[in-house]
Structure 1
């Protein structure tokens, strides 16, 4: 039995759907901590999609979005609240008077 010479599996970029060789892809950890590799499954993005990502820390982002979504806001108000919460160093939403 002969083995295939192509040992580089292909992956699908979740952002654009392109199928690319794994060696040409960029490893992406949706939790923002690619160095802690224990019990993780990574996604693989093509280079153009990876380059468009924001590489800022995402710790606490999900809980912030859940907190903001508790109220029914118009989209513009939601964005204003989000920016204010991100710029606030203690991470708490401030009540507007």
Structure 2
């Protein structure tokens, strides 16, 4: 329908989830800002097709800022997971 993306960069890419290097045609483009159509001056990341299929494809508005607020990459894994769990339970309780 839209045609294929051709910007001359058909080389291998690295999956941000598993670290495997795959041909660009065997990967899905990932834009952490959620707007992959605005391409000017962007560097995209990639997921291999198996990792892309394993991902949840639900809307993620506010997710990036929530991860920053919870200390992703700054606190231990255990502390982050506890914070994330508490935040998602609290969000669910407020939406009910």
- Fold equivalence (TM over 0.5): yes
CA offset at residue 52 of structure 1?
A: 1.1
Root-mean-square deviation (CA), in Å? 2.7
Larger Rg computed on CA atoms: 1
Aligned pair count reads: 79
Cα pair distance change 1:88/1:36, threshold 3 Å? farther
- SS of equivalent to 1:20: strand
Partner of 2:75: none
Under a length normalisation based on structure 2, what TM-score does the superposition of the two structures give? 0.61
Structure 1 or 2: larger helix share? 2
Q: 2:91 aligns with which of 77, 85, 95?
A: 85
Whole-angstrom distance in 2 between the partners of 1:85 and 1:9: 41
Preserved CA contact (<8 Å) 2:70 2:83? no
- SS of equivalent to 2:29: strand
Under a length normalisation based on structure 1, what TM-score does the superposition of the two structures give? 0.60
Partner of 1:42: 44
Matches for 1:1-97 after TM superposition, within 5 Å: 8-68=10-70, 76=82, 78-85=84-91, 88=94
Cα pair distance change 1:65/1:13, threshold 3 Å? closer
Q: Unpaired segments of 5 or more residues in structure 1?
A: 1-6, 90-97
